[in-house]
Chain A
Amino acid sequence: MSIATQRAERADRFRAAYLDQAAALAPTLPGHGVGWLDRRRARAAERFAEIGFPSRRDEAWTFTDPRPLTRAVLAPAPKRANGVDKTALSRFLPAGVEAHLVVFVDGHFRADLSALDDLPEGVRLGGLAATLTVAPDCMKRVLDHDADAADSGPVALNAALAADGAVLRIADGVALARPIAFLYLASGAPAAMHLRNVVVAGAGARASLIEVYGALGDAAYWTNAVTDLQVADGASIAHLRIQGEAPAAFHLAATRARLGMKGAYRRFALTLGGRLARDEVSARIEGEDGDCRLDGLYLGRDRQHLDTTTVIDHLAPGGASGEHYKGVVDDRARGVFQGRIVVHPDAQGTDAHQLAKALLLSETAEIDAKPELEINADDVKCSHGAAAGEIDADALFYLRARGIDAERARHMLIGAFADEVIERVAEPALRAHVHDLAASWLASAGG
């Protein structure tokens, strides 16, 4: 039997195992028995059966081989008390920031760890499982069609299997003074967490969102998160995402943002964790004068594979988008940046800029960058740039010639490289938090 045949058979077995899982778990999922929801989950399973797991033959996965994730079939962790208490939370959250908080452990909402008091009027925050149990129909508009739209196996599997996630709904015109934090912790069980998050910001609403993934133990668990963000007309969402999964973990995240007229979405992603991690963002600027910023920093070492894949669709006139991603990779780590900007025919006056830079700290580290511009309108300003290089030897010598030892000098230069993009985090307390996380990543080098 050829290797190709063996691979195909393994992929089929893998697919079949997840389909069995979906069939077995369907009756246990929240909202089971609700017609549209059952049909949606069944369609999602069919969709997964049809497309299966991605492979490097898929254009979107050319640089990221998802096979390590297919070596084991991971089942959702059972809902149980796992000894996690509030004292374990603080290190995952920015100091001095008092956020409204929802906490998930192994994919399940934990009311006892969350902080939902004092939510302003017009703000609803909680877990998806509870929402689907109590009032499933309010999720129908968001969830009903996504099974058919799933463009990748993991997203389809998420639609079939997701049992919980964060739900945030902000009424028109409500501006939140305190940030909202979603915290996802893995207790260390080798399980799969299919998280489905929904954020709906009404017209003119304003909020700061913090999305954090962290681990309390190391294991080859899998976080498979899908997040929908609706930014209505004139709404403004600042989104800080911190991916600090365990070193052996798999992390696939798909974030889909839709911006209405004059809607503003500013996202910063700090990626630190996971053996294989992909942060996929699709932002659609659907209303006139929408403003989207996607920025981020990824820091990888050992054999980490950290993938950032973004697509920004300019569908309406006068939109602006900007992307600035930076990466630092050491050892045998590999960074991938794929950034696609599509300016559709109606999107005249679009202003779109993208910049991706990476610093390679070892000869065996690798970077793959694939910027793509597709412009179908004539009155646009677009630019993109990508660069990868080593630490500047002249700068390093200059610092050493002043008495600063080589390691400290390297850290100063790497820190400066990272800080340049960390500056994009507008809120000072959050920026300081990201800076500290990047600094402690640097300080733990060579271990």
Chain B
Amino acid sequence: MTSGNGAARAPMLEIENLHVSVAGKPILCGIDLVVNPGEVHAIMGPNGSGKSTLAHVLAGREGYEVTAGTVRYLGRDMLALEPEERAREGLFLGFQYPIEIPGVAGVNFLKAAVNAVRVHRGEGELDAIDFLKLARAKAKLLEIDEALLKRPLNVGFSGGEKKRNEIFQMVLLDPRLAVLDETDSGLDVDALRVVAGGVNALRGPERSVVLITHYQRLLDYIVPDVVHILAGGRIVKSGGKDLALEVEDQGYATLASGTAA
């Protein structure tokens, strides 16, 4: 392994030969991926290629069996951590389908989440007033109606509101590694612009973003450093931002078969 200088620039995320099965069926069949601090990676692929499985495995969802391989996050074995430990260590998963939770007011949930992360980082808990101040400021940034915060979490939200709410949570939790699972799907252009603004604001030399998307459109707003094509549970091609345009032109089938040949 690297030493000296290399240790200071340890990868944010290092996935090696990751194999994952769901209910005995192999979904990911040997993923290798290195995301360095400051980088934005886009993972593109057709439906069923394993994109969401990868996102869920990274966040620690139950029901996904890792049959081989390793995932290291800031040099640590991420698969050994509980979902909440990963979140507190700075991992954020933006859900493709944010869950509606009746009876839990968004603001109470967010305060619990923000304080869980703050306590872990050795920062003090925010009281109700300071938390509201912070939440209001960030809500404004994402053009989120404050009234939405008081409502039960995601209940009755439109698709766009849910996705915006995910990015709002991301901004509040201030993660080091954000994995966004099809955050662009179902968004109109205005919402897409707002969401992209939130992600771009997060970009920095010590942070990384993994954008999982089906469409190239999002990448007009969030320009990635690296683009990967996922097909059949493997990364079949990696390249610069122009790779996304190739997908747009040629479709996934050509790209996937092209490398397999």
Task: Spell out A's residues near B (CB within 8 Å).
Answer: 392-395, 397-406, 408-409, 412-413, 415-417, 419-420
A contact residues around B99 at 8 Å (CB): 392, 394-395, 397-398
A contact residues around B60 at 8 Å (CB): 400-401
Give Cα A395–Cα B83 distance, bound, in whole angstroms: 13
A413 pairs with B113, CB closer than 8 A: no
A393 pairs with B62, CB closer than 8 A: yes
A406 pairs with B82, CB closer than 8 A: yes
Number of interface residues of B (CB under 8 A): 28
B62 pairs with A397, CB closer than 8 A: yes
| Residue B98 CB within 8 A of the other chain | yes
Contact with A along B94-125 (1 / 0, CB 8 A): 01001101111000110011001100100000
Nearest Cβ on chain A to B96's Cβ, whole angstroms: 12
B contact residues around A415 at 8 Å (CB): 103
Given contacts A397-B62, A398-B95, contact A404 B101 (CB under 8 A): no
Which 8 A-B pairs give the minimum distances between C-beta atoms? Answer: A416-B103, A403-B87, A402-B113, A403-B116, A400-B83, A398-B99, A400-B84, A403-B117
Q: Is the interface of A mostly helix, strand, loop or mixed?
A: helix
Interface centre among A400, A412, A417 (most CB of B within 10 A): A400
Nearest Cβ on chain B to A393's Cβ, whole angstroms: 7
Instruction: Identify B169's interface contact among A394, A402, A413, CB under 8 A.
Output: A402
Name which residue of chain B comes closest to A415, CB basis.
Answer: B103
A403 pairs with B103, CB closer than 8 A: no
Nearest Cβ on chain B to A265's Cβ, whole angstroms: 27
A401 pairs with B83, CB closer than 8 A: yes
Instruction: Identify A401's interface contact among B87, B101, B103, B104, CB under 8 A.
Output: B87
Known contacts A394-B99, A416-B101; 14 further A-B pairs (Cβ under 8 A): A392-B99, A395-B99, A399-B101, A399-B113, A401-B59, A401-B61, A401-B86, A401-B95, A404-B109, A404-B113, A408-B116, A412-B108, A419-B103, A420-B103
Nearest Cβ on chain B to A28's Cβ, whole angstroms: 51
**Sample of 18 A–B contacts (CB below 8 Å):** A394-B99, A397-B99, A398-B98, A399-B109, A401-B93, A402-B87, A402-B113, A402-B116, A402-B173, A403-B116, A403-B120, A404-B116, A405-B116, A408-B112, A409-B84, A412-B109, A412-B112, A419-B103
A400 pairs with B102, CB closer than 8 A: no
B103 pairs with A417, CB closer than 8 A: yes
| Residue B88 CB within 8 A of the other chain | yes
A contact residues around B93 at 8 Å (CB): 401
Instruction: Identify A397's interface contact among B61, B103, B117, CB under 8 A.
Output: B61
Give Cα A161–Cα B82 distance, bound, in whole angstroms: 59
A416 pairs with B102, CB closer than 8 A: yes
B contact residues around A413 at 8 Å (CB): 101, 104
A contact residues around B88 at 8 Å (CB): 403
Q: Which of B62-108 contact A (CB under 8 A)?
A: 62, 82-84, 86-88, 93, 95, 98-99, 101-104, 108
A contact residues around B109 at 8 Å (CB): 399, 402, 404, 412
A contact residues around B84 at 8 Å (CB): 400-406, 409
Instruction: Identify B104's interface contact among A403, A406, A416, CB under 8 A.
Output: A416
B contact residues around A400 at 8 Å (CB): 60, 82-84, 87
Given contacts A402-B109, A403-B88, contact A412 B104 (CB under 8 A): yes
Nearest Cβ on chain A to B93's Cβ, whole angstroms: 5
Name which residue of chain B comes closest to A409, CB basis.
Answer: B84
Name which residue of chain A comes closest to B97, CB basis.
Answer: A394
Nearest Cβ on chain A to B121's Cβ, whole angstroms: 10
Nearest Cβ on chain B to A30's Cβ, whole angstroms: 48
Interface centre among B93, B103, B113, B173 (most CB of A within 10 A): B103
Give Cα A417–Cα B101 distance, bound, in whole angstroms: 10
Contact with A along B142-177 (1 / 0, CB 8 A): 000000000010000000000000000100010000
Give Cα A65–Cα B84 distance, bound, in whole angstroms: 43
Q: Which of B2-43 contact A (CB under 8 A)?
A: none
Give Cα A408–Cα B86 distance, bound, in whole angstroms: 16
Nearest Cβ on chain B to A113's Cβ, whole angstroms: 38
B contact residues around A392 at 8 Å (CB): 99
B contact residues around A403 at 8 Å (CB): 84, 87-88, 113, 116-117, 120, 173
Interface centre among A395, A397, A405, A409 (most CB of B within 10 A): A397
Give Cα A399–Cα B112 distance, bound, in whole angstroms: 9
Name which residue of chain A comes closest to B153, CB basis.
Answer: A398
B101 pairs with A397, CB closer than 8 A: no
A420 pairs with B102, CB closer than 8 A: yes
Contact with A along B39-52 (1 / 0, CB 8 A): 00000000000000
B contact residues around A419 at 8 Å (CB): 103
Give Cα A77–Cα B82 distance, bound, in whole angstroms: 54
B contact residues around A404 at 8 Å (CB): 84, 109, 112-113, 116
Give Cα A415–Cα B101 distance, bound, in whole angstroms: 12
Interface centre among A392, A401, A415, A420 (most CB of B within 10 A): A401
B contact residues around A408 at 8 Å (CB): 112, 116
Give Cα A398–Cα B112 distance, bound, in whole angstroms: 13
Interface centre among A394, A403, A412, A415 (most CB of B within 10 A): A403
Given contacts A402-B87, A406-B82, A406-B84, contact A395 B101 (CB under 8 A): yes
Nearest Cβ on chain B to A327's Cβ, whole angstroms: 15
Nearest Cβ on chain A to B243's Cβ, whole angstroms: 29
Give Cα A404–Cα B117 distance, bound, in whole angstroms: 8
A contact residues around B103 at 8 Å (CB): 415-417, 419-420
B contact residues around A409 at 8 Å (CB): 84
